[in-house]
Structure 1
Amino acid sequence: MHYSRYKRKCVTQYVLIISTFGLIFFSCSNKKSENFTHNIELNNQENSEAPEGMVWIPDGIFEQGALSGDKMAMQHERPSHTVQIDGFFIDQNEVTNEQFSQFVEETGYITIAEREIEWEEIKKQLPPGAVKPHDSILQPGSLVFKKTKTSVPNLFDYSQWWEWKIGTNWKHPNGPDSSIDGKENYPVVHISYEDAMAYCNWAGRRLPTEAEWEYAARGGQNEALFYWGNELKKLNEYANTWEGEFPVSNSKLDGFESLAPIQQYPKNDFGLFDMAGNVWEWTSDWYNSNYYENLKSTNQITLNPKGAESPYNKNNPIAQEKVIKGGSFLCSESYCASYRISARMATSIDSSMEHLGFRTVVTRDMLDSQN
């Protein structure tokens, strides 16, 4: 077998399987709640006390999960269930290259994508008898998107548009020869769950729960599919997504072909930017295929849910996966469509990709304990 083909095959079989990228893409009116106006007034008062770059999200109750009329929703977004959330502060934007650079400079932290790959650790996440690939492949790197030259009949074969590039990481997001120079205000990407948690610990923050993230993304619009309402045709005005035939051509109607800087689109009614598209965002919740069913079965309002106690994906039982939210610049109507508020996907905790970042939250109790 030609070496390049062998290399590509190994990457597909080991790197993509380990990171379970394919499972990431597994694959009403604009009326606000009666308390929304009052909550916005409270929100403005609380924002005067918010840490720099953060926004106060007021207490509230909402239906987490897919709306009944959402034809694009996937099964794991159902059933919807009632959730009550206590107020918290959340980053107005996704964590940027500039912010992450400061963290690395002060701590010397090395991200997972920059570390040497240990085969013995990888084997623990693979079926018994997995054969070790060539050492030239087991090198630090991450996954980068590549457009295909022709139409793709099978959109479940994600190996067609993901390429493992040695030397790719948050400082070199498109390969070893790329740089983040001049992109200080872009979301930091190629960030694993462990990397995001390390940043949070340094900053005195934490990741949002899935329920907190979804509640914040709604901005008080409890009957809307998208943060701007229910009109899909407005997508290119409100989010950085894939416009055109995925993964062949992107018309860039939204102004960008790939990653965009922060604050390029309107903020939601809580004052948050990029809660749809651009990059996926980590949450603290374990992904569990049965979790929504379990919450619904209680027939009660769930207070501040923190996710399942342990991970379980019926399609990949050995996976250690967290929930990610928000969609990315690769989402289109024909593929992914996860710019919807209720959309949720699972990804391995050691995954890092070109379209995966995060934002942080902090509570008053956390701030009080730091003083």
Structure 2
Amino acid sequence: MQSSHCCAPSRSAAALTPPIPVHGVTGSSPALIPLSGGEFRMGSEDTDSYPADGEGPVRPVRVAQFAIAAHTVTTAQFAQFVTATGYLTDAERYGWSFVFAGLLPASLRRGAHRPEATPWWCAVDGATWHAPEGPGSDIDERGDHPVVHVSWHDAQAYCGWAGVRLPTEAEWEYAARGGLDQARYPWGEEPESRNGYRANIFRGSFPVRNTAADGYAGTAPVDAFAPNAFGLYNTVGNVWEWCADRWSTPTHEPDETRVLRGGSYLCHDSYCNRYRVAARIHNSPESSSGNTGFRVAR
């Protein structure tokens, strides 16, 4: 994966048996918003973007009619899937996942492996979707928060159970823009609205001090903040969202990594401005972290 500061590093693939796909079981699908589709201008040539991310060039793209969830899959919805199927996520099978150090007690930060390039990430044994900060944490009060520590494989398995799919990258951006042409954010050009905060991002001095002025130091409820004009919540900030597509750029052929969109609660103007609707990153399909989730489509 490319150097990306607010997304967790890639999990190196180990010799694990691939997860068993879950198909043919009818689950409870999140409510989907029908969109008419059509042509829009995808991408960005923003001077604040990262050239290696391949946001540009701006180009006309047409998407067919589709439907997409108003918000990311919640921990409560994912729990229904696990209860019905007994599914084990990649993080559970590997035994660990990446957690932002600022959310961990000293006992878990101490001695945890930290990638040299991004030492604010800790590889925490026992960090999973139901224990987001590792041993001693839980999701009892986070049923309406996005499920995290889910890989692209895990998202695909949920989709197979619920009778939905991951959005394509083009569908995701079309929906996230909410009908605005080439705006930086789902609400327009300005980072924040005069009416208050519009997204859950890192407030303060990254990575050492988060004021949580927007109300959240970690994830926020999936319907926090105002939706865009299409009715979608948190298309920027909160958690990165897996898309169906393999990663490619104008100078890079598709590879085995998968696209993520939207930024997360760790994005910050001074260090990672990827909470723009055109921003994109990628990671290996078995990777997981405390700021990665997904939204579904049909």
TM-score > 0.5 by shorter chain: yes
**Hey, what does 1:317 align to over in structure 2?**
none
Percent identity for Structure 1 against Structure 2: 42
1:209 partnered with 2:168: yes
1:64 partnered with 2:23: no
| 1:87-98 equivalences in 2 (<5 Å) | 87-98=65-76
1:328 partnered with 2:283: no
Instruction: After the TM superposition, list the runs of 4 or more consecutive aligned residues in structure 1 that deviate by more than 6 angstroms.
Output: none
**Hey, what does 1:74 align to over in structure 2?**
50
Matched residue pairs, number? 263
Q: 2:217 aligns with which of 257, 275, 290?
A: 257
1:237 partnered with 2:197: yes
1:181 partnered with 2:117: no
For 2:213, the aligned partner's letter is L
Cα contact 2:10–2:283 (8 A) shared by 1: no
Partner Cα separation in structure 2 for residue 190 and residue 98 of structure 1? 14
Q: 1:145 aligns with which of 100, 106, 111?
A: 100
Q: What secondary structure, in the 3-state scheme, does the structure 1 residue paired with 2:76 have?
A: helix
Report the alpha carbon displacement of residue 221 of structure 1 after superposing the two structures with TM. Answer: 0.1
For 2:275, the aligned partner's letter is Y
Q: 1:246 aligns with which of 203, 206, 209?
A: 206
Partner Cα separation in structure 1 for residue 209 and residue 249 of structure 2? 33
> What's the RMSD between the two structures over aligned residues?
2.2
Q: Quick one: structure 1 residues 205 and 234, their matched pair in 2 at CA, closer, same or farther if it must change by over 3 Å? A: same
Runs of 5+ in structure 1 lacking a partner?
1-14, 21-50, 118-139, 150-155, 295-307, 312-319, 363-371
Cα deviation per residue 1:248-277 (whole Å; 9 max; x = unaligned)? 111222111111111110000000101010
Cα deviation per residue 1:15-60 (whole Å; 9 max; x = unaligned)? 955459xxxxxxxxxxxxxxxxxxxxxxxxxxxxxx7621111121
Partner Cα separation in structure 2 for residue 254 and residue 142 of structure 1? 26
**Hey, what does 2:286 align to over in structure 1?**
350
Q: Quick one: structure 1 residues 256 and 157, their matched pair in 2 at CA, closer, same or farther if it must change by over 3 Å? A: same
Cα contact 1:19–1:347 (8 A) shared by 2: no
Partner Cα separation in structure 2 for residue 17 and residue 356 of structure 1? 12
Report the alpha carbon displacement of residue 71 of structure 1 after superposing the two structures with TM. Answer: 2.4
Cα contact 1:275–1:326 (8 A) shared by 2: yes
Partner Cα separation in structure 2 for residue 167 and residue 328 of structure 1? 22
Q: What secondary structure, in the 3-state scheme, does the structure 2 residue paired with 1:177 have?
A: coil
**Hey, what does 1:284 align to over in structure 2?**
244
Q: Quick one: structure 1 residues 19 and 82, their matched pair in 2 at CA, closer, same or farther if it must change by over 3 Å? A: farther
Q: What secondary structure, in the 3-state scheme, does the structure 1 residue paired with 2:118 have?
A: helix
Report the alpha carbon displacement of residue 79 of structure 1 after superposing the two structures with TM. Answer: 1.0
Q: Quick one: structure 1 residues 52 and 143, their matched pair in 2 at CA, closer, same or farther if it must change by over 3 Å? A: closer
Partner Cα separation in structure 2 for residue 188 and residue 147 of structure 1? 19
Cα contact 1:225–1:341 (8 A) shared by 2: yes
| 1:19-58 equivalences in 2 (<5 Å) | 19=12, 53-58=31-36
Cα deviation per residue 1:90-119 (whole Å; 9 max; x = unaligned)? 11110001100000011110001111x4xx
Report the alpha carbon displacement of residue 157 of structure 1 after superposing the two structures with TM. Answer: 5.1
Mean Cα displacement is larger for which, 51-60 or 224-233? 51-60
Partner Cα separation in structure 2 for residue 204 and residue 271 of structure 1? 22
Q: What secondary structure, in the 3-state scheme, does the structure 1 residue paired with 2:263 have?
A: coil
Q: Quick one: structure 1 residues 233 and 157, their matched pair in 2 at CA, closer, same or farther if it must change by over 3 Å? A: farther
**Hey, what does 2:157 align to over in structure 1?**
198
For 1:177, the aligned partner's letter is G
Cα deviation per residue 1:124-183 (whole Å; 9 max; x = unaligned)? xxxxxxxxxxxxxxxx0101001399xxxxxx9543100011011001000121101121
Indicate the structure with greater helix content: 1
Cα contact 2:145–2:220 (8 A) shared by 1: yes
Partner Cα separation in structure 2 for residue 252 and residue 271 of structure 1? 25
**Hey, what does 2:88 align to over in structure 1?**
110
For 2:249, the aligned partner's letter is S
For 2:199, the aligned partner's letter is A
Partner Cα separation in structure 2 for residue 344 and residue 16 of structure 1? 15
* Structure with larger Rg: 1
Cα contact 2:152–2:286 (8 A) shared by 1: yes
State TM-score, norm by structure 1: 0.67
